[in-house]
Chain A
Amino acid sequence: MNENIIEVKKLNKIYDKTIAVKDLSFVINKGKIIGLLGPNGCGKTTTIAMILGLVKPTSGEVIIKGKNIEKERINLLEKMNFISPYVELPKKLTVEENLKVYAGLYGVKNVNEKISELVNELRLNKFLKKKTGELSSGQKNRISLAKALINDPEILMLDEPTASLDPDTGDFVRSFIEHYSSKTNVTILLASHNMNEVERLCDSVMMMKDGIIVDTGKSQELISRHGRKNLEEVFLKIVRE
């Protein structure tokens, strides 16, 4: 039986007079990877921020595991995490110090064991004692991923997780997410501009434009429905309509 882990009900967000998100409703089942596609400024980040409780909706509800994020924010955040290229870890702290800080903030019990596990899985051994600011963007991305997994999240919000990465590192991250998802049954909401990534990783895709979901379905369904060759062409058609 499918378990609804994220329920978004009639969500609206208005900043002053700008409508960022309009009447948004969707459900994400446990263990699914759902892609959130749309042009810049279409409301993807605001939607993710409202699911994380970082932004207060103007109206509507975000229900996580049956609980309202506005009422149970701290409890729910214990099993959620987030990664974005626009959010960084303190540069002057070593990788190990950063991971220890976040292990503490998420109340991780066996801190050293957990860090050691993530370090091995994400191949971070060489950087553990290095200052985070000294690392390349690809290395920093893997550290951010380690931070995002420090609490064994049941829900992961990935905002452009492979943006600005070289193809090799990008592929490593995608393979890791694929492997981690099948191993842990984590639920993932993935906002990305990389259509190949979305086709490869996502069970289903939501297309956003001007704060609303304009189409949704599996990648192949969207491609067939719009009579295009790939998801990128579907994206361009929807954005330019």
Chain B
Amino acid sequence: MNFQKIFALFFRHFYLIKSSLPRVLDLIYWPTIQILLWGFISKFFTLYSNYYNDALGVILTAAILYDFLFRSSISFNMSFLEEIWSRNFTNLFIAPIKLSEIIVALIITALVRTLIGLVPAILLTTPFFGISIFKLGFPLAFLFLSLYLFGITLGLFVSSGLLRYGPAFENIAWSSLFLLAPLGCIYYPISILPEFLQIIAEALPLVYIFEEVRSILTNNTVNYSNLITALILNAVYLFIGIALFYYSFSQARKKGSLINIGE
């Protein structure tokens, strides 16, 4: 693992972010809008529903965590798409950089992009709604780690598709998380889902992560088995994601798609 190469690729994306105010604003805009929107919806629930004791806190915290997952995944995909859009793909793959170094560079870039977007949104929740996600305490670190791992795993799945099928796979990059959201049980318990969907949902780490969020916020109890299950599932999916990325690269070399991708 050569850190000079990893940081070189990271700076390739960092230069892009710092040179463009619209890009930074775009990173901040969507999470902020999302948090404000959900904040007002949550406030409505607090005033008119007894479904949760602390509906605002639970829903807004879940929204922030879900957005962290969304940003992680999209940021990973965006870094990859930037190479395609700028027609730099071939240059990247004729440079002496290993696939593992590309993956690590994209993971670091995704984290930085995600934090740029989400930190302002997190900071806004306290003055606007009196909510702090830090109320989750120490388990918050595990929850963030789990969501980040799942986000980059989804990023790896989508990037594998981009490698194999080219820009035609781009729309999947945007819609992948919307497809998973209903199954992730972000705002409601898994029992709300029909039974056959519960079987699929149980295979997703999201269910355990958000179940734990609700458990901590409503019952003040930490169930470490949920956190461990989520981490184990994440490790399995991450391994599959990495294997798929390597396989897609090999297939792209066979099909010759690394020469003209983006054209």
Contact = CB atoms under 8 A, between A and B. Distances in A.
Interface residues of B, number: 36
A183 B86 CA distance: 33
- Chain B residues touching A, majority SS: helix
B217 interface: no
B255 A106 contact: no
A84 B12 CA distance: 20
B8 A105 contact: yes
B17 to A, nearest CB: 10
A139 B260 CA distance: 23
B259 A45 contact: yes
Interface in A30-48: 45-46
Interface in B178-217: none
A141 B15 CA distance: 21
Interface in B4-35: 4-5, 7-9, 11-12, 15-16, 19-20
Contact of A89 (B7, B20, B91, B258): B91
B253 A91 contact: no
A88 B96 contact: no
Contact of A54 (B8, B259, B263): B259
A56 B253 contact: yes
- Chain A interface mostly: mixed
B255 A15 contact: yes
A101 B9 contact: yes
B90 interface: yes
B94 interface: yes
A55 B9 contact: no
Contacts of B54: none
A94 B12 CA distance: 10
B19 A77 contact: no
A75 B95 CA distance: 10
B52 to A, nearest CB: 45
Contact of A56 (B8, B250, B263): B250
A93 B255 contact: no
Contacts, number: 110
B77 to A, nearest CB: 17
Interface string A83-109: 010111111111001001111111100
Contacts of B49: none
A129 to B, nearest CB: 11
B171 interface: no
A131 B11 CA distance: 15
B209 to A, nearest CB: 35
A101 to B, nearest CB: 4
B43 interface: no
A62 interface: no
Interface in B79-98: 82-83, 86-98
A52 B9 contact: no
Given A93-B16, A105-B8, A15 B256 contact: yes
Interface string A194-224: 0000000000000000000000000000000
Given A86-B260, A104-B8, A52 B94 contact: yes
A104 B258 contact: no
B175 interface: no
Given A55-B259, A92-B19, A101-B15, 9 more contacts: A15-B256, A52-B94, A54-B90, A87-B87, A87-B91, A88-B87, A97-B12, A106-B95, A107-B4
- Which are the 5 A-B pairs with shortest beta-carbon distances? A104-B8, A77-B96, A105-B95, A101-B12, A56-B253
